[in-house]
Amino acid sequence: MSSRSSMKPGKEILRHKNTISASQAMIQLLGNTNSSLKNAENQRTKLQREVAELTKRTETYDDKIQSMQRAYQSKNEALKTAKYNCELARIDKDKLQSEVEELKAAQCIQKNLKNLQKRVADDAEEHLDKELATAQTQIIVQNLKLREAQTKLEQENKDNIQGQHFKIAELEIKLTQNLGPEYSKQAEFHLQEATRVMDSLKDTLDLDELRHKALKSRKRRMQLVFDDAEPPAKR
């Protein structure tokens, strides 16, 4: 009675140790998950800052564009007024020339405005191109990793099938070695083991129909050899 009660605390301690180990593993997993979430949050914050900066720059350019447009409209209206006054009041040539220069300045502002709009569009397109190139690179890397994993899996499957074939051949040799004048229990064991391996190979997806037939024929041949060596009393 005392020996049974003394074993229970030991089992209880072992159970607590297992619980602690499982808890530590879960804490480690949560720590890794929190780290990944923190990295993702930092990346999102970085992208948000970049978007905010780009938005701010775009708003600044928009303000400059609107200001230039208003200046151009004002100059254009001033030019029309100047032409009208020139026709009516025949203002002197120097003043008219000054208005012409203002028109050229307005045209220059319009040209600068178009160039600025093009620069804003080019900057946005370049940013998008960089993001697209980064995403494409990540896709290529993931595809390479997937292809490498598939190749490794196919090779392991191939090596496993080849090893099973070697095991069948080895069992076949042992079977014929144990079939002599006297019947052997060891031969029966080798036949059963070879049958088990062949049945497991039969369900392998990578084996085509021709290999299935070869396995079936090999199994039947081994059974016939075994049956021929079996004592009449056993039959």
Count CA atoms closer than 13 A to 212's CA, side-chain side.
Answer: 8
**With contact defined as beta carbons under 8 Å apart, do 200 and 164 qualify?**
yes
Q: How many residues does the chain have?
A: 235
CA–CA separation, 98 and 94 (whole Å): 6
**pTM for this model (two decimals):** 0.31
* Angle made by CA atoms 108, 111, 114, in degrees to the nearest 5: 155
pLDDT at position 181 over 50: no
Q: 133-137, 172-176, 198-202, 218-222 — which one is most confidently predicted on average?
A: 133-137
pLDDT tens for each residue of 52-106: 887 887 778 777 878 888 887 888 888 777 677 666 666 666 666 777 788 888 8
Backbone angle region of 230, left / alpha / beta, with phi > 0 → left and psi within -120 to 50 → alpha: beta
Neighbour tally for 120: CB within 10 Å: 18
Per-residue pLDDT at 233: 44
pLDDT at site 166: 66
In terms of Cα–Cα distance, which of 111, 126, 107, 110 is closest to 57? 126
